[in-house]
Amino acid sequence: MVHIGGARMIKVGDVIAERIFWIDRELLKKYADASGDQNPIHQDEAFAKSVGLPNVIAHGMLTMALAGKFISDWAGGPAAVKEFSARFTKPVIVPAGKEVDLTVSATVAEVDGAYIRLTISATSDGVKVLGMTKALVEKS
């Protein structure tokens, strides 16, 4: 495969087109098992409501992991992500029997050779769920 220009073609302000990840209760169960985070607010609706939440919510770290997948796909794979940070501003609410969106996009904030800083946006049902989301990637 021939790369023409590669990372040198990327400039500050470039937008990485948005992508939608779908989240349902089944995915929350799978993430709980894979991550070891079995907090019932991510699986048990009655429990979630008993602690004042509107419904079951996704693990913030699942949301962040999916945003990480978005940037690693763009950068050339999971090994390309060198730094990654996020603030959990609002929960992703996951009602039973529904798939809710996690809509992710990113903007190039800085280019230093192959090292690129991205600012990432993530919303669910139109609400910003991650804030201050940034990554440093080494793009291949």
Partner 1 sequence: MLNPDSVGRTFPGAKSFPVTASEIAAFATVIGEEDLTVAPPTFSIRISLEQSQELLSDPSVGLDWSRVVHGDQKFEVFRPIIAGDVLTCSSTIENYKAVAGNEIVTVRSDLHSAGELVVSTWSTLVVRA
Closest to partner 1 by CB, 8 or 35: 35
Within residues 81-140, the interface with partner 1 by CB under 8 A covers 81-88, 132
> Residue 60 and residue 14: Cα distance in Å, rounded?
27
Q: Does 49 bind partner 1 (CB under 8 A)?
A: no
Do the strands 100-112 and 15-23 form a parallel or antiparallel pair, or are they unpaired?
antiparallel
Q: Which residues pair with 16 in a beta bridge?
A: 106
Q: Which residues pair with 21 in a beta bridge?
A: 102
Backbone angles phi, psi at 63, to 5 degrees: -55, -45
Q: What minimum distance in Å lies between the beta carbon of 35 and partner 1?
A: 5
Within residues 19-38, the interface with partner 1 by CB under 8 A covers 21, 27, 30-31, 33-37
- What residues line the site for partner 1 (CB under 8 A)? 21, 27, 30-31, 33-37, 60-62, 64-66, 68-69, 72, 77-79, 81-88, 132
